[in-house]
């Protein structure tokens, strides 16, 4: 029977990804979460054997994997998280993304608007999948295009490209208060996309105030 990852297993997932060969440039757990979320929003299914290698390495054809035991455990945790995201989307529940509470250079937790930076890895992972497979960026649907903006607003400056001006407009005209507020906004954006690309009826269409934030870990 499928079981969502516990907080300890989420930490284990991130630690295993961190143990990948540094030449791989593997994703961390938050980036992988965004990547798998985008995969599950695609209109056409992409098999795990096709998308999982991208989490292990920026060049999946030359990835250096962990020992068989650790690699099997890593893939098990990733697939269980993938199933959990799919379950949430299909049942119209708010996405509960993996994010790590951000700290400043002195180890103090960032607060307020500054804490929203914690969603950057998630947005980067989401973008990576959306750029690799068709069905999101190229879709001719105003609702999806608008909802994607709710993800792109969290991209770091170097990944923004032509979206930089739009991000600045959002920051000034539609500011988010803190990380919790930003997570709720991302959950709503994801739900809106899922309603179009996967045909899932969202419980967030009328209100997105019930989003949970249990997948929060200290960096």
The CATH number of whichever domain residue 59 belongs to comes to: 1.20.120
Q: Match 């792109």 to its residue by tokens.
A: 152
Distance between CA atoms of 143 and 193, rounded to whole angstroms?
7
Q: Which residue has the higher pLDDT, 156 or 170?
A: 156
Tell me, yes or no, whether 193 lies in a domain. yes
Cβ–Cβ under 8 Å, residues 32 and 17: yes
pTM score? 0.90
Helix (H) or strand (E) holding 88: helix 68-90
Tell me, yes or no, whether 18 lies in a domain. yes
Predicted pLDDT at 212: 38
* pLDDT over threshold 90, residue 137: yes
Tell me, yes or no, whether 2 lies in a domain. no
Distance between CA atoms of 201 and 140, rounded to whole angstroms?
20
Convert the pLDDT of each residue in 33-54 to its tens digit: 999 999 999 999 999 999 999 9
Tell me, yes or no, whether 85 lies in a domain. yes
Tell me, yes or no, whether 34 lies in a domain. yes
Distance between CA atoms of 51 and 60, rounded to whole angstroms?
9
Would you give the DSSP letter of residue 44? S
Distance between CA atoms of 144 and 136, rounded to whole angstroms?
7
Convert the pLDDT of each residue in 9-32 to its tens digit: 999 999 999 999 999 999 999 999
Task: Kindly indicate the confidence band of residue 155, based on its pLDDT and cuts at 50, 70 and 90.
Answer: very high
Q: Match 């990852």 to its residue by tokens.
A: 5
Cβ–Cβ under 8 Å, residues 57 and 63: yes
Distance between CA atoms of 182 and 205, rounded to whole angstroms?
16
Total number of domains in the chain: 1
Q: Which domain, by its residues, includes 47?
A: 7-100+112-218
DSSP per-residue string spanning 108-167: PBP-GGGGGGGGHHHHHHHHHHHHHSSSSTT---HHHHHHHHHHHTTS-HHHHGGGHHHH
Distance between CA atoms of 99 and 122, rounded to whole angstroms?
8
Q: What is the largest CA-CA distance in the chain?
A: 50
Tell me, yes or no, whether 106 lies in a domain. no
Q: Name the nearest CA neighbour of 96 among 219, 216, 217, 218.
A: 216
Helix (H) or strand (E) holding 37: helix 29-41
Tell me, yes or no, whether 1 lies in a domain. no
Distance between CA atoms of 54 and 129, rounded to whole angstroms?
9
Tell me, yes or no, whether 210 lies in a domain. yes
Percent of the chain with pLDDT over 70: 92
* pLDDT over threshold 70, residue 183: yes
């Amino acid at each position: 029977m499928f079981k969502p990852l516990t907080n300890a297993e989420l930490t284990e997932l991130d630690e295993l990804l961190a143990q990948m060969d540094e030449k791989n440039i593997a994703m961390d757990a938050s980036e992988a979460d965004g990547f798998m979320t985008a995969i599950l929003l695609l209109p056409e299914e992409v098999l795990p054997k096709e998308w999982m290698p991208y989490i292990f390495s920026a060049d999946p054809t030359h990835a250096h994997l962990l020992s068989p035991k650790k690699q099997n455990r890593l893939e098990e945790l990733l697939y269980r998280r993938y199933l959990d995201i799919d379950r949430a989307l299909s049942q119209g529940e708010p996405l509960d993304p993996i994010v790590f509470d951000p700290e400043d250079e002195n180890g103090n937790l960032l607060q307020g608007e500054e804490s929203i930076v914690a969603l950057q890895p998630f947005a980067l992972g989401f973008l990576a999948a959306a750029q690799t497979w068709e069905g999101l960026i190229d879709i001719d649907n105003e609702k999806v295009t608008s909802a994607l903006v709710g993800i792109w607003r969290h991209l770091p400056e170097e990944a923004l490209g032509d979206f930089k001006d739009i991000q600045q407009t959002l920051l000034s005209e539609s500011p988010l208060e803190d990380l919790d507020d930003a997570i709720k906004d991302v959950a709503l954006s994801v739900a809106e996309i899922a309603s179009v690309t996967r045909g899932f009826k969202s419980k967030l269409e009328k209100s997105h105030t019930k989003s949970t934030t249990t997948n929060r870990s200290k960096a």
